[in-house]
Amino acid sequence: MNLNLVIIAGRVTQDAEQKNLPGGQSLAKFSVATNNYWTDRDGQKKEATEFHNMVMWGKKAETLSQYIKKGTLVVVEGTLRTNSWDGEDGKKRYKTEIMVNNIQLGPKASGAYSKDDFADIPAKPKQQQQEEESLPVIQAGEEVDSKDSLFIDDDDIDSEEIPF
């Protein structure tokens, strides 16, 4: 089995750069910095920063590139891809990038987003808001009907049906 999966949580180091390629495909590039902290043998606290190159394609690149700004906290899930080429000096060069599959934006480094940032995003329908608000709350010591329970009784599990 092969798996190429990367999950990075860090801060954007520069605003996303979005391009439209001649074939009509959209491309957005940005980088994310992550920090690693440790204590060395002498008890001194150390820190190292890594920079990760991100690439998004298609509609995701068009839509999200306007929200990916320097300092924004992001969680990115993607796959690694390494490109190679011959440099002007004749040496082989390599660049490893993360091809973004999913991205989650955190709050801006300078504070909350303004309403204008989300003007084009539709609000949840009123019915969906009411359904979310009407979730039952179970108080300590209260009896729960088994059909409403989120837990599975051990009696309901047949070990022969487990595929491994």
| Per-residue model confidence as pLDDT tens for the chain (164 residues) | 889 999 999 999 999 999 988 888 899 999 999 999 999 999 999 999 999 999 999 988 888 888 899 998 999 999 999 999 999 999 999 999 999 999 998 876 555 455 565 555 555 565 555 555 555 555 555 565 555 544 555 555 666 666 65
pLDDT value at residue 30: 95
| CATH number of the domain located at residue range(s) 6-123 in this protein | 2.40.50.140
pLDDT value at residue 100: 95
CB count within 10 Å of CB 15 equals 15
Q: Does the predicted model carry a pTM greater than 0.75?
A: no
Measured CA to CA, the distance from residue 84 to residue 105 in angstroms comes to: 30
Measured CA to CA, the distance from residue 12 to residue 51 in angstroms comes to: 9
pLDDT value at residue 42: 93
pLDDT value at residue 67: 87
Tokens, residue 100: 């973004």
Convert 36-101 into a string of H (helix), E (strand) and C (coil): EEEECCCCCEEEEEEEEEEEEEHHHHHHHCCCCCCCCEEEEEEEEEEEEEECCCCCEEEEEEEEEE
pLDDT value at residue 119: 58
pLDDT value at residue 112: 47
CB contact set of 83 (below 8 Å; sequence gap of 6+): 94, 95, 97
Measured CA to CA, the distance from residue 100 to residue 76 in angstroms comes to: 7
pLDDT value at residue 16: 92
